[in-house]
Structure formats: structure tokens, C-alpha cells
A and B are shown apart, each in its own frame.
Chain A
Amino acid sequence: MSVGRATVYIVEDDPSFRKSMERLIQASGFKVVALEDADSFLKQRYIRRPGCLLLDVQLPGIDGLDLQQKLLEKGSRLPIIFMTGHGSIPMSVQAMKQGAVDFLPKPFEARDLRSAIIKALEGDIQERKKEIQENKIKSLVETLTPREKEVLRWIITGKLNKQIAFALGTTEKTIKVHRSRVMQKTKVSSVAELVRLAEKVNISPAA
């Protein structure tokens, strides 16, 4: 996956500025979709696709900050770069708190825009890669039986089979079998790998 396959979305109400953005981003080698208001953006299914959003703060109807809020509510991870004609500090603070990648005061340099887009897209790719990996791990963990899942939580505490068997009220031999099954099903070869995997899908060690 590369930045070249991602789409840069623009939501900007000023037609001449929107057009210039479209041209510049296209010329910089990105795929562009430009829209004039937040509603048109929400109607389309853009939010699940890889890319980033260049968003004007002042928009008629739903403004930039509102749209950001709505996207967060919908579980979108689309990175957002804000643009503004007169950005005030409290406004940019709020935007950044809500997870904006960058805040560009108009007029901005093509260089700054480009690096902001690349940063956003790379972030998006990372996010997506992470997500894919997480999904993969989740599906592996799903193949474990409940008992095996419980043993997994004990293994990542670093305890010995004897200790785990004592805690679960069973024999050391049974735990040894469970442990090999868990390693086999999650396709890891060491406890250290198993710990990292558990961390990625938020499985916490047993108390």
C-alpha cells in the first residue's frame, strides 16, 4: 500500500480556492475529490476509504469542527488537516484536541501542504496496517477455546506451568497441552511474541 493509492478529500466552500487546491494536489501527484460542504461529504461513503481530509473551518451549515466531531462519532479514522482564513488559537487547540493532524493558516506553501498531506496519508496507512494486523490477530485469537484463552492470559504473566496449574486447579500436564495449542493456533514461537500479540489486541494478563 502506498500514498499514491490514497485519496485526498477537500471540503471547502470558496469555489476558486477549492479549484486551486484541487489543481495543486493533483499536480503534486495525489488523487483528489473536492466538495463544497460537509453534508455532501457525509452523504458519500468516503469515510471508510484510505486517504485524508482537507477541511475548511468556516463552512456554511455544518462547520469544520462540527464535521470533525460527527466523523469521530461515526468511528471514522480519516486523518483531518484543517485550513482557515483566520485561525484563532482556541479554535486550533480544539481541533488538535479532537485529533486533527495539522492546522494550515491560509495562504499556505505548497511545500507545507504536501508534507502535511504525506504525514496524514502515511499516518492513515499506518493506522490501516495496524488495523489489518489487529484484525488478523483477533481472528487467530477467536480460534482459541475459552479455556485456552484463560491459559493465554496466564502464560503472558510469565508464570511457569506448575504455577498456572495450581492457580487453575488442574495438573501441570494439562497446562502444557493448552500452552502448545495456544502457540500453535496463534502462530507464535515464543512467549515474548505471544505477549506482544496480546498487547496489540488488548488482552490483559491474568491477575
Chain B
Amino acid sequence: MNWVTIIWSMAASACLTLAAIHLLVWYKKRTAWANLLFSMMAVATAALAYCELSMMRAQTPGQFATALRWLHVPSWVLIVSLAGFVRLYLHAGRMWLGWVTCGLRTLSLLLNFLVGQNLNYLEVTRLRHIPFFGESVSVAEGVSNPWMLVGQLSLLLLVIFVSDATLTVWRRGDRRRALVVGGSIVFFALAVTVQAVLVLWQIVHAPITASFFYLGIVAAMGYELSREALRAEQLSDDLSESKARVSLAADSAGAGLWSWDFKTGRIWVTEKARELYGFSPDENINSDKFLSTIHPHDRDRVSYSAQEAYREGTDFRSEYRIVLPDRSIRWIKLQAKAFSKPSGEQGRMMGVSLDISQLKQDNDERTQLRLELVHLARVMTMSELSTSLAHEINQPLGAILNNASAAQLIMSRIKDRPEAIGEILEDIINDSRRAGDIVRKIRGLVNKADVQFEPLPMNALIEDVVELFRNSININKVSLFLDLQPDLAQVRGDRVHLQQVLLNLITNALDAMKGSPGTLTIRSSMPASDIVRVSVSDSGPGIDEAKKGHVFEPFFTTKKDGLGMGLRICKSIIEEHGGRIWAESHPGAGATFRFSLKAWKGESE
């Protein structure tokens, strides 16, 4: 063993190790072409080193010439992959320059095998032994091959191509990369060219050490690529941190995050999402499991809109029910987005899910209450209308019948009475009866609403009804003031009927303040231990003294499109509850409607 062998072998094995590592990287990630090219360059550098070592230790001119001829094969690989690396990794360099470089190099490889003993010598005539690293190595003397110029031209072109690319990268602003990758390639490639010119034209007698210069390039590029790996590491750290941050934010908002890989069908979920969908903590979740949680009634709808969102690349939003393992139902609000891979193939869908069951339930309850109130209002209006109508019609009808009957009696005492008058009276009586029957039938058709008395918390009733007016209170810029006595006794009443009363009173109060924002005040109190009193006040124009006595009469209204039934209904309901309702008003200072009800005294009532 001697120093030259040791150094060249070490350089070659270092190159082979790097080559193996980066080949593996490429094997794992087939799009990492830079790593493959780097790997090829490292292998070629090792081969180059081997050829150089053979030349230095050649015993005959023939051995030297053969080693030099084979040296051009790794040299070709090196230059072509170097050009490729620059293009792929730096995304710079003129394509035509690259192709010309590769072309000239390929041409010189052909000439290497066709003209003379190799590209550089037509014939190696004798070997000279010169001292190198403390030992004697062989260098050639002979007839230079003029075609060698082609090869050296290709080296020069490579230097130009890389310089141009480096300049582009520099201008682009990525100076570090331009210096490390571009700079080192230019520097070492230039060194190779200079050495080749000096040695091979036999101006200087020295061994060829191109592999060392290439080693420099390989080292620079290896450094760069490992930085890339380090950066990937850093990125993955950043990524897990940002993932943790997002999870934390999502958890505190009660949202579950998930990410669905379409290719593998696997779904990653946060702990919160597991909880939302009812998955156990260590369960593997896949597409089938995820889809099977959806309520059968919603499944088609959800999967259809998910597919549509995926096709159109739009956001996917949905509200649907899921069935938990204990068969209970949960409402989920979901927002997701599909991400396809750059290659256009199926990627993944990421989304956020939220439990909106409570919201839905509140909404359902409010809708239910609204429907009940609307229904009751209709029934009550019909009932009040028919009552008022019956009274109004029965009065004149009764008078007609009475008069006709009286006339009949009077006629019966007259002798020689005209036959026709008797018949006329008979007809009037019959028609009056008929009309009376019709009114009675209509009254019969309109059932009075059923009343069911139970103990009720008046304050909760008030709050429920106020909730229905939230929007219109906000829109009309009305200030709401609730002054509810905390330890109010329960009242004896029918829930929906009393809510109807509150609804009508609040509607009137808000209508009275339309156009001039004011204050709506609702109070509850107990003026006596067995009486609960509620008042609804507005700050509107109030009620005229003259009209005050009539507000509870049917058909009395001050509204343009009012029927005049609202307060009438309130009065009917409150009286049916054994309570009292009355109006207080100070013109200009608003109106107050109060009602009092009996407190619940137990089941005995």
C-alpha cells in the first residue's frame, strides 16, 4: 500500500457511499431525480478515480492508453449527469447549451474509441516516472490526438452552461445555492479543463487527477442535498408543531379535524373528532367506517354532495346526522376541501366537523313553539271570530223570527185574513230558522282550543317567547328590559295559551314602537302570595283615553292590517285561566298591559 492508492481508494469509496445513500433516497421518492443524478455522478467519480489510479500505476504504454480510453466512459456519465443535475436541481441553464455540451461529449466518447489509442493520444510512445505524493507514478509521452479538442470544448461548454445557470440562480436571489452548487461546479470544472489542457497537450508532466476535482463537486452537491434533507426534517418538525397548534385551536372550539387519504382510504383524526364520531381511542379509521356513521336517511345526500365538491374542486359543506355506537343521534356540521396531488391523481380531503346537536335542538324547539303558537292563534281567532259573528248575526235573526212569529199570532186572530200573508210569515220563520241553524253549525265546527292546566314557571315562559322576537328586537333597535322576580311562584295555566298571550302583547308593544326605537319592558312580580302578575310595557305613543275602554273588544284595532282579535284572544285566555287583564296608558308615555294569574297551589285544584 502507498499513499496514492490509499487516497484514491478512499475517495472512490466515499463517492460510492454517497451514491448508495442518494440512490436509496431516489428509490423511496421516485420524483427525486436530482438524487438519482447525484448518485450516478458519485459512481462515475469513483470509476474515474479507479481509471486514474490504473494510469498512474501503468507498467506499459499500452496499459496506460487502455486505462485512459476507459476513463472517458465515467467522464461522459459525469458531464451528462452534471448538466442534468443543474437543469433539474437549479431549474436554470439554457437547454440548447446543455444539449450541445452533452452532444459534444458524446461525440468525443465516439472519437475516443474510433481515432488513435484514445481521445487524447494517437499513440502513447513511452512512460515517464515522476515523483508524486512521495512515490513514483507513470505519466505518458506520445503523439497527442488533435480530436482531443472536441472533448476539451465540451468541458468548456459545460463551464459556460453552468456559469450561465449560476448567474440565473444568483439573480433569482437564491445566492447561497448559486455559490455552493453553481460556484463549486464552475470552479472544479474549470480546474478539470485547465488540467486536461496542460497535461494532455504535454505542456506539463503530471498525472491526471480529475476525480479529485469531481470529488469537490460531489462534496458540494452532497452538502447541498443533505441540507435539503435537514430542511425536510425541520419542515416536518414545523409541520407537527403547526398540526398541534391547529388541533389545540380546533379542540378548544369543539371542532374535530380529519384528513382522508383517498388512495389508502385511511383517515387521520384528532382526538376530538374521534369523540364526535364515537370512535374508540385506538381504532383505525377508514372510509367505510367513516361513511357508516352517517344516518341512513342522510347518507345518499351527503355522499352525493361530497362527490360533487370533489369533482368541482369546491368546498364541501354539509349538515347531517350520525348514529353513535349507542344508537343515539348527533347532528354534525362539516366543512371540508379536497386537495388533489400535482399529478392530478386523487389526493386527500381535509375537513372540520362540529357537533351542532344542541343548536339543532334549540332550533327545533323554537320552530315547534312557533308552530304551536301559530296554530293556537288560528284556532283562537276562528273561535273568537265565530263567537262575535254568531252574536252579531243571531241578534237581528232573533228579531226577525220574533217579529214574524208575533205577526203570525196577530194574523191568527183576524178573520178573512189573506192566505198569502200567512204563507209569507211561515217562509220568513222557516228561513230564519235555517239561518240560525247555519250559524250554530259553524260554531260547532270551530272547536275551542283544549286547555290543560299545569304548574308553569312564568319567567321561563317569558324567556322562551322573548327568544322568538330576538331578530325583530335587534332589527328595530329596541332595548329589551327583563325585570323578572327570581323566586316567582308557579302559575296554574296552559303553557301554549299563556305563551300566546305573551306573544300578542309583545307583538303589540313592538308594533307600537315601529319607526321610533324604544324600550320593551317585561316584568314579573307577586303582588300577593297567591297571585303572579306580568306586565308588558312599551315606550310608544300610548292609547287614547277614548279608545282605552275598547281595546279588548273584538274587531277593535289601530293597525292598518289588524283584525282586532289579538287582545280579545288575550282576554279570553286570561279569563279562562281565572285571571284578569287590563291596560294602563299615559298618552305619550307608552302603554302597559298587565295580567294576573292564580299561583299554583298543588294538585287539589
Contacts and interface: CB of A to CB of B under 8 A. Distances in A.
Interface of A: 14, 16-17, 19-21, 23-24, 26-28, 58, 83, 85-86, 105-110
Contacts of B397: 106-107
Interface centre among B391, B405, B409 (most CB of A within 10 A): B405
A27 B406 contact: yes
B406 A24 contact: yes
A16 B399 contact: yes
A106 B405 contact: no
B399 A85 contact: no
B546 interface: no
Contacts of B432: 107
Contacts of B433: 107, 109
Nearest to B405: A110
Contacts of B392: 85
10 contacts: A17-B402, A23-B406, A24-B409, A27-B406, A85-B390, A85-B391, A107-B400, A109-B405, A110-B401, A110-B408
B396 interface: yes
A20 B402 CA distance: 5
Given A24-B402, A24-B403, A110 B409 contact: yes
B259 interface: no
Contacts of A83: 398
Given A14-B399, A107-B436, A86 B394 contact: yes
A21 to B, nearest CB: 6
Contacts of A16: 395-396, 399
Nearest to A26: B406
Interface residues of B, number: 24
Contacts of B409: 24, 27-28, 110
B443 interface: yes
Given A107-B436, A110-B405, A110-B409, A20 B387 contact: no
B406 A106 contact: no
A26 B396 CA distance: 19
A108 B390 contact: no
Contacts of A14: 395, 399
Given A28-B409, A106-B397, A107-B397, A86 B391 contact: yes
Nearest to A110: B405
A28 B410 CA distance: 9
A108 B401 contact: yes
A21 B398 CA distance: 9
A17 B406 contact: no
A156 B115 CA distance: 169
A28 B402 CA distance: 11
Nearest to B448: A88
B406 A108 contact: no
A86 B443 contact: yes
Nearest to B402: A20
A85 B410 CA distance: 26
Given A27-B409, A106-B395, A110-B409, A20 B403 contact: yes
A85 B406 contact: no
B391 A17 contact: no
Interface string B373-405: 000000000000001001110111111111101
A17 B127 CA distance: 150
B432 to A, nearest CB: 6
A131 to B, nearest CB: 32
Given A20-B403, A28-B409, 15 more contacts: A16-B396, A17-B395, A17-B399, A20-B398, A20-B406, A27-B405, A58-B391, A85-B398, A105-B394, A106-B394, A106-B395, A106-B397, A107-B398, A109-B433, A110-B402
B390 A20 contact: no
B181 to A, nearest CB: 100
Contacts of B443: 86
Contacts of B405: 24, 27, 109-110
Given A106-B395, A108-B398, A86 B406 contact: no
B478 to A, nearest CB: 38
B340 to A, nearest CB: 73
Q: Top 10 A-B pairs ranked by shortest CB distance? A: A110-B405, A20-B402, A85-B391, A107-B398, A27-B409, A106-B398, A23-B406, A24-B406, A20-B399, A27-B406
A86 B402 contact: no
Nearest to A20: B402
A110 B504 CA distance: 43
Interface in B559-593: none
Contacts of A24: 402-403, 405-406, 409
A19 B443 CA distance: 27
B395 A86 contact: no
A34 to B, nearest CB: 12
B391 A21 contact: no
A69 to B, nearest CB: 18
A34 B391 CA distance: 21
B421 to A, nearest CB: 15
B394 A107 contact: yes
Contacts of A21: 402
B388 to A, nearest CB: 8
B553 to A, nearest CB: 12
Contacts of A23: 402-403, 406
A33 B433 CA distance: 26
A85 B403 contact: no
A86 B391 CA distance: 6
A21 B401 CA distance: 10
Contacts of B398: 17, 20, 83, 85, 106-108
A109 B429 CA distance: 9
A38 to B, nearest CB: 18
Contacts of B394: 85-86, 105-107
Contacts of B395: 14, 16-17, 85, 106
A26 B410 CA distance: 9
